[in-house]
Structure 1
Amino acid sequence: MKKIAFIVCQYGKEVNGGAEIHCKMLAERLTPFYDVEVLTSTTIDISTFEPFYEEGLEIVNEVKVRRFQPIPFQKTRYEKLYKASKLGRKIRRNLYRLKILKWISNIFPVWSIGTKNEEEMLKSHGFYSPSLIEYVNQNVNNYQALILISYPYPSTYFIGKKYPSKCILIPTAHEEGDLYRSIQSKIFTKIFHIAFNTEAERDLCKKVFGNKLSKSSILAVGIDITDPASENHIIEKFNLPDSYILYFGRITSGKIGKLIDWFLEFKKNHKSNVKLVLTGRLFMEKVNNKDIIYTGFVSEAEKTALISKAKVVVNPSDKESLSLLLLESMALGKPVIVNGNCEVMKQHCIKSDFACDYFISKNDFLKKLELSLENSKYRDNMTRKAKEYVLTHYNWKKIISDLKILIEQVPVK
């Protein structure tokens, strides 16, 4: 049986990031066809990068997970190098905003401005693991393909740069500073194949990397719905009210934006007993308010039950390449409100004939939230279309078939 490896910064049952769950679902579904390994770190904490897992080999649902210790993280050093590495990113992003980066990239696809500083910055990152990279160097010829998950991380860059013809990149890209770094021009134009989640994600990368963008396709991901925990269980465990709005994922300012402030403003102006439930690990200061409930990390069964009982699900992030939360909620027939300033999320709404809806401002969010809670016609319209959209566009059988074809096309030296 041929061997393949997924390379991802975090992996495990305790990890709830979208890209990491995406990796887990793909890896487990490929085990009947390949000897599947995951090369990853020992950490799950994106603030301290302290070890959580033991270094070494572990079997997780028939997948061989090899964990490698990252370098000790020095926040001050990383921040210093991060600031020193802004030149290439700043130039390229400004050219993008002027709508001329695509045309310049057509002529000069690979950039070298600031790459030395950018590489040094990655070597100080909390996920940088020389031992993981060395393991790949020693064993690369044993693998049919290396599948790199998420473009900004050290292992993706250093392995993709050294073995581009061996790699399939699932970039999970969105409009953010890291995408404009000069070093990314070496990956996105040289890698064997790029498997995007959506057309909106690919369109963004075409505007950044021009017509020299590597060969690509839309792969996406299917949806897994675990049987729910009992309603009584989640009500008692999390002290849930009858009516709540749900957010699921990492609780960081970059992900939830102004959600808490806007929700509290909504509460001031509406006589409603609705509360806000934030599910996932907390990486920001906790807001102590009787109308906000933090569940912490939950099991998949608890997540399904939390979504099923919610009045509405929100994803306020403007940095998404797919959004599993959105698709899982739609599969369960729940109204979902997303950030329309994220082109990927906006396209989900349009493509599904508004089986979900988007906001573009605070007032728009407050209006859509009121509709989703109080207007049954608005809710029913979304619910009716949502399940069909997910079933039609996120089918596991086709996705795994397409990925197998890509893996077999990777040239073997």
Structure 2
Amino acid sequence: MIGRSSGDPYAQFHKETEILYKNKETEKKYKIAFVVQRYGLDVNGGAEFHCRLIAERMAKYFDVEVLTTCAIDYMTWKNEYVAGVEELNGLKIRRFPVDFPRDVSKFNKFSSNIFGRKHSEADEIEWMKLQGPYSTQLFDHIEKSKKDYDYFIFFTYLYCTTFFGLPLVKDKAILVPTAHDEPPIYLSIFKSLFNIPQAIIYNTEEEKSFLNSKFKNEGILSDIVGIGIDIPKDINENDFIEKYNFDNFLIYVGRIDESKGCKQLFEYFLKFKNETGSELKLVLLGNPVMKIPTHPDIACLGFVNDQDKYNAIKASKILIMPSKYESLSMVLLEAWHCKKPVLVNGQCEVLKGQCIRSNAGLWYENYEEFRECLDLLLADEHLRDQLGNRGRKFVDENYSWENIEKKYLDLIERVTK
């Protein structure tokens, strides 16, 4: 749990608000369960990391528990953590075993049939079970212990933990869908899911607009919140340059995966190099789940600690985000905090919207636009500085932890009424 030390800039805010969030019958702090598919310091996925940051912040106001599985690897859902209760950063974590690991080959074959052929609702439910992680013990705990929690906050619509867990406690459920326009969301089994929670917390205007349009759920209590970011105090680009011997580089931060647009990024980057003769390098920070082209100007450093990550972003020319499917890009916020411009895939309405609202990034929808944007940004240091400064202002005004916490507290108060 993040303590209320004298150095906490929101200490008075915490003191004034914590007395408001109590169960009127018991006079105890609300007990809130965060439900997510994987959880831990070893878990670096976007939604899972998002959940951890929010849960730790909310523990200043509520009695918080995390309900999750024993899995670390989202591809296999293999049980790796020990089942049971542990404490992590001051929070109680209850871990439940996954019933069966995911057979990736079987799942991919089944998915091809689901998304390419006529099928039944029973087929879609079977797809969801194969998607995983399916944990009978987790679902039993949610159902049998419903009375022990005041609210359940479910993260991510896409996995079994939410699909099978949320309906069991729908009168106490808050959903953080982290959804975007992708094939699974068009499955019929999701029609009811987005209409049964007591409230929905969206990440962006684009996510809210898309889900309201698709599921006609405008009547459900909601807010657009997002997430705050935690930045090391001393960011030093020279430390990264000296440690890794890189300068003049484009940086990508995140899982190195074809589904994140990395295959197209490699193709575009190498074509740009061949056509322009540029000395620009591409530095990748993250765990690869696809083959990375062997090239002297493409370097994958794998997973690095936060200090190295922010030093690397600060040392870069531009941050690139090639994904088509995002509900909110935390790494864009991190780059803007470091006053770095971003270049994003304009086919993702969320990323494009973030750039438009911040006026701190450019976007492309094909190779020609990718090249033009990259040429422009690389040639104009003043433009890069302008975009970076606007990005920092945008993050400071919209994504401070004080703002994020207040929005969560306000929504829970409105649900209570």
1:47 counterpart letter in structure 2: M
Match of 1:146 in 2: 152
For 1:302 and 1:57, the matched residues in 2 are separated by 32
Structure 1 residue 343, shift from structure 2 partner: 0.9
For 1:69 and 1:282, the matched residues in 2 are separated by 26
For 2:268 and 2:110, the matched residues in 1 are separated by 35
1:20–1:267: structure 2 CA closer, same or farther, 3 Å change rule?
same
1:39 and 2:45 are equivalent in the alignment: no
2:195 counterpart letter in structure 1: T
Look up the SS of the partner of 2:246 in the other structure.
coil
Match of 2:233 in 1: 227
The one-character-per-residue Cα deviations of 1:67-91 (angstroms, maximum 9, x if unpaired) are 222222223443354345448xx89
1:310 aligned to 300, 304, 316, which one?
316
Structure 1 residue 43, shift from structure 2 partner: 2.4
The one-character-per-residue Cα deviations of 1:282-317 (angstroms, maximum 9, x if unpaired) are 111232211111111111122111111111101110
Instruction: Indicate if the aligned counterparts of 1:188 and 1:213 stay in contact, CA closer than 8 A.
Output: no
Structure 1 residue 334, shift from structure 2 partner: 0.3
Match of 1:277 in 2: 283
Q: How does 1:51-70 map to 2 (within 5 A)?
A: 51-70=79-98
For 2:326 and 2:413, the matched residues in 1 are separated by 29
Instruction: Indicate if the aligned counterparts of 1:200 and 1:344 stay in contact, CA closer than 8 A.
Output: yes
For 2:301 and 2:234, the matched residues in 1 are separated by 16
1:159 and 2:152 are equivalent in the alignment: no
1:48 and 2:76 are equivalent in the alignment: yes
Match of 2:52 in 1: 24
1:394 and 2:396 are equivalent in the alignment: no
Q: Higher relative CO (CA 8 A, sep ≥ 6), structure 1 or 2?
A: 1
Match of 1:110 in 2: none
Look up the SS of the partner of 1:314 in the other structure.
strand
1:177 and 2:183 are equivalent in the alignment: yes
Cα RMSD (Å): 2.2
The one-character-per-residue Cα deviations of 1:8-37 (angstroms, maximum 9, x if unpaired) are 112222222221221111111111111211
1:193 and 2:222 are equivalent in the alignment: no
Instruction: Indicate if the aligned counterparts of 2:211 and 2:217 stay in contact, CA closer than 8 A.
Output: no
Match of 1:358 in 2: 363
1:255–1:80: structure 2 CA closer, same or farther, 3 Å change rule?
closer
For 1:230 and 1:243, the matched residues in 2 are separated by 16
1:210–1:2: structure 2 CA closer, same or farther, 3 Å change rule?
closer
1:317–1:228: structure 2 CA closer, same or farther, 3 Å change rule?
farther
For 1:350 and 1:320, the matched residues in 2 are separated by 15
For 2:348 and 2:291, the matched residues in 1 are separated by 25
1:249 counterpart letter in structure 2: G
1:211–1:60: structure 2 CA closer, same or farther, 3 Å change rule?
closer
For 1:373 and 1:254, the matched residues in 2 are separated by 27
1:75 counterpart letter in structure 2: V
Instruction: Indicate if the aligned counterparts of 2:286 and 2:303 stay in contact, CA closer than 8 A.
Output: yes
1:333–1:155: structure 2 CA closer, same or farther, 3 Å change rule?
same
Q: Name structure 1 gaps, 5 residues minimum.
A: 92-112
For 1:166 and 1:211, the matched residues in 2 are separated by 17
1:2 aligned to 6, 30, 40, which one?
30
For 2:343 and 2:204, the matched residues in 1 are separated by 19
Match of 1:127 in 2: 133
Instruction: Indicate if the aligned counterparts of 2:128 and 2:159 stay in contact, CA closer than 8 A.
Output: yes
Match of 2:220 in 1: 214
1:116 and 2:145 are equivalent in the alignment: no
1:12–1:229: structure 2 CA closer, same or farther, 3 Å change rule?
farther
2:182 counterpart letter in structure 1: E
The one-character-per-residue Cα deviations of 1:145-172 (angstroms, maximum 9, x if unpaired) are 1111111111111112222121111111
Report percent identity of matched pairs: 37
2:107 aligned to 69, 75, 78, which one?
78
Instruction: Indicate if the aligned counterparts of 1:165 and 1:411 stay in contact, CA closer than 8 A.
Output: no
For 1:266 and 1:227, the matched residues in 2 are separated by 36
1:228–1:262: structure 2 CA closer, same or farther, 3 Å change rule?
farther
1:234–1:376: structure 2 CA closer, same or farther, 3 Å change rule?
closer
Instruction: Indicate if the aligned counterparts of 1:188 and 1:209 stay in contact, CA closer than 8 A.
Output: yes
For 1:240 and 1:173, the matched residues in 2 are separated by 38
1:68–1:235: structure 2 CA closer, same or farther, 3 Å change rule?
farther
For 1:344 and 1:203, the matched residues in 2 are separated by 11
For 1:119 and 1:132, the matched residues in 2 are separated by 18
Instruction: Indicate if the aligned counterparts of 1:338 and 1:359 stay in contact, CA closer than 8 A.
Output: yes
Q: What number of residue pairs does the alignment pair up?
A: 387
For 2:31 and 2:307, the matched residues in 1 are separated by 31
Look up the SS of the partner of 2:310 in the other structure.
helix
1:250 and 2:255 are equivalent in the alignment: yes
Instruction: Indicate if the aligned counterparts of 2:222 and 2:411 stay in contact, CA closer than 8 A.
Output: no
1:367–1:224: structure 2 CA closer, same or farther, 3 Å change rule?
same
1:13 and 2:41 are equivalent in the alignment: yes
Look up the SS of the partner of 2:192 in the other structure.
helix
Q: How does 1:324-343 map to 2 (within 5 A)?
A: 324-343=330-349
For 1:34 and 1:143, the matched residues in 2 are separated by 11
Q: Name structure 2 gaps, 5 residues minimum.
A: 1-28
2:326 counterpart letter in structure 1: E
The one-character-per-residue Cα deviations of 1:205-261 (angstroms, maximum 9, x if unpaired) are 122112566332212112221235765654465x34111111111110010341111
Instruction: Indicate if the aligned counterparts of 2:340 and 2:385 stay in contact, CA closer than 8 A.
Output: no
Instruction: Indicate if the aligned counterparts of 1:144 and 1:410 stay in contact, CA closer than 8 A.
Output: no
Structure 1 residue 344, shift from structure 2 partner: 1.0
For 1:212 and 1:377, the matched residues in 2 are separated by 43
The one-character-per-residue Cα deviations of 1:88-120 (angstroms, maximum 9, x if unpaired) are xx89xxxxxxxxxxxxxxxxxxxxx83322112
Look up the SS of the partner of 2:197 in the other structure.
coil
1:34–1:211: structure 2 CA closer, same or farther, 3 Å change rule?
closer
